[in-house]
């Protein structure tokens, strides 16, 4: 890897990707987020992150790192879920950030990807309410797909998680091929969504989270196959 890339925090790439998706989505791709939803969601992200960092004594001297993490989680949740309710985004983002402080392997690593945990939590536990997750708000628009693909590859290479993403896509391809040959599903019915904007966000930006994914290549291969298996099931 070039030395220039070694100095880049991959979180900056996630922030760039999520910010561009939200901005272009609202302006050009019918991503229905109101100004108040965005403001309240991102405000909650910052307040909760700084508050819990203080409570758990986590990088209090690195405010910029805490803000970067908060913005990535907030923007990710705003991009991947949809609701008309004003309370939904602050609540979901609060759950996301709290999860990485509560469910931990150790002081430096958490068990779940925060955004993914919050999406599942919202479906399961928000009372009398079922949020709608956008399968792909951007349809098959060329620019967002290229953006996620290019920035996703760059982020996984810098974070040294490219083996995980590659294993996932190869496993999905094999699984889709088997189901196609068995006559159960058409190949593109399975792989098409995986190549969409949101379909690529998950293997490039979520399951490769350095704080909740394996560091060694053997672990990444196992995790990539495992995730693809359950996705196909």
pLDDT tens per residue across span 202-229: 999 999 999 889 999 999 999 999 999 9
What confidence score (pLDDT) does residue 42 get? 98
What confidence score (pLDDT) does residue 198 get? 87
What confidence score (pLDDT) does residue 108 get? 77
Which stretches of the chain drop beneath a pLDDT of 50?
A: none
| Token reading at 100 | 């990485």
Average pLDDT, the chain: 90
Q: Half-sphere exposure (CA, 13 Å, Cβ side) for 99?
A: 21
What confidence score (pLDDT) does residue 38 get? 97
Q: State the pTM of this model.
A: 0.90
């Amino acid at each position: 890897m070039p030395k220039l890339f070694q100095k880049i925090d991959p979180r900056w790439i996630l922030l760039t990707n999520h910010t561009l998706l939200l901005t272009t989505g609202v302006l050009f791709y019918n991503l229905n987020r109101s100004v108040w939803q965005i403001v309240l969601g991102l405000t909650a992200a910052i307040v909760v992150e700084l508050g819990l960092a203080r409570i758990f004594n986590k990088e209090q001297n690195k405010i910029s790192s805490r803000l970067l993490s908060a913005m990535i989680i907030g923007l990710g949740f705003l991009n991947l879920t949809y609701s008309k309710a004003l309370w939904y985004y602050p609540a979901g983002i609060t759950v996301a950030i709290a999860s990485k402080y509560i469910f931990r392997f150790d002081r430096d690593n958490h068990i779940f990807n925060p955004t993914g945990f919050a999406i599942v939590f919202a479906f399961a536990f928000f009372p009398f309410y079922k949020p709608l997750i956008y399968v792909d708000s951007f349809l098959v628009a060329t620019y967002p797909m290229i953006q996620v693909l290019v920035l996703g590859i760059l982020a996984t290479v810098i974070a040294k998680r490219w083996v995980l993403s590659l294993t996932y896509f190869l496993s999905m391809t094999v699984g889709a091929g088997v189901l196609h040959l068995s006559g159960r599903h058409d190949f593109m019915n399975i792989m098409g969504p995986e190549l969409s904007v949101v379909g690529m966000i998950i293997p490039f930006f979520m399951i490769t989270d350095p704080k909740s994914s394996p560091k060694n290549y053997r672990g990444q291969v196992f995790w990539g196959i495992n995730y693809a298996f359950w996705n196909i099931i």
